Amino acid sequence: MTTSKETDWMNHPVLRKLVHEINALTLAERVTLVKGLIPGIAEELSDREYEGFVESVRLKGERFHEAQAHPGEGRAARMTPGERDLEKR
């Protein structure tokens, strides 16, 4: 999880605790949980915002796999843009 001006107001320790607890679930349970959250997220976003959300999730996964494949190289050497790159920070 990263922080930015847009997310400074969030209670990051509580969110990190939730993420840690959720990661203790099985893969099937975590996938089901994510799928269960999607309708509520989609309902509150415009079509364009939703597409941006889906793209950010896809990039997060790509970025993770790229980092795993190239440990110790740092983000500057990676091809997949990260949140900081996309937000220009």
For 11-46, what is each residue's pLDDT tens digit? 889 999 999 999 999 999 999 999 999 999 999 999
Q: What is the mean pLDDT of residues 56-84?
A: 78
**56 and 89 inside one domain:** yes
Q: Which of 5-14, 58-67, 69-78 has the lowest mean pLDDT?
A: 69-78
Share of the chain above pLDDT 70, in %: 79
**39 and 53 inside one domain:** no
**26 and 54 inside one domain:** no
Average model confidence (pLDDT) across the chain: 85
Rounded to whole angstroms, the Cα distance separating 13 from 69 reads: 29
* Structural domain span for residue 18: 13-44
